[in-house]
Amino acid sequence: MSGKIVKSRVADGIYLLRFRTQYELAATFLRIQEHYESPRFHGRVFSLEEYMDWYAAHSGNFTYYQDWSGFNVPSTALQPFFDGKFDPLSEKEKRLLRLFSRLREPFYVIGVFDDGKGSRSLTHEIAHALYFTNAAYREAVQAAIRRYDTSVLARQIAQAGYARHVIPDEMQAYIVAPSGDLGAALGPIQPLRRELRALFKRHAGGLTIPKLR
């Protein structure tokens, strides 16, 4: 039986969903997230089985539910699911959609799970939300990144399985809060990390971010 999803409003237009386990989190977001940013499935309607087969062939095994611990999507990514294009929906997808069925204005959804070590994932996902909803943050980040050669990190992000249109957003989030190998070794662009972290702290200061256990 699925655990309860804890929904929090972090700021105007930003909502945080907290799940009990990584499996419940990843299984809920999989098709929504990959419809939004997968290099193979972006913009396509697909079944869970189709995605599982592709992921296993691409990665050697289907380890998606263990590989990903944070998720982020704009409200536009939910619309095809509301419109019935992904029929039949899973029970987990239905449960997520019910949480936002009455919202009409643009919004952003981030998801993490409470594992006692979630602060880095949460920071990473908040950086995505700010980039989408806060024009001042996004413009300052873009101006900072233009002063550095970030091509190596951009290639790493593309190779990790992100569609081209989300690479600038992913790049800033991985610089602010690295995950795995991505963003962990920036070499000559360490000053950019300091600059982006300062921007993040400045713009995230007014957000209501709950503490994870």
pLDDT at 114: 82
Q: pTM for this one?
A: 0.89
Q: What ranges in the chain are assigned the alpha helix state H? A: 22-37, 48-59, 64-67, 79-82, 91-99, 119-133, 135-145, 151-159, 167-176, 190-204
Question: By mean pLDDT, which of 86-95, 121-130, 181-190 is the weakest?
Answer: 181-190
Question: Is residue 111 within 8 Å of 32, Cβ to Cβ?
Answer: no
**Looking at residue 30, what DSSP letter applies?**
H
pLDDT, tens digit, for every residue of 176-194? Answer: 998 777 877 788 889 999 9
- Each residue of 76-88: pLDDT tens digit? 999 999 999 999 9
Residue 119 CA, distance from chain mean position:
14
Residues 16-46 have pLDDT tens digits of 999 999 999 999 999 999 999 999 999 999 9
Q: 108 with 74: CB under 8 angstroms?
A: yes
**Residues contacting 72, CB < 8 A, separation 6+:** 33, 108, 109, 110, 111, 125, 128, 129
* Domains of the chain, residue spans: 6-113, 135-204
With tokens 């419109």, the residue in question is 83
Mean pLDDT across the chain:
92
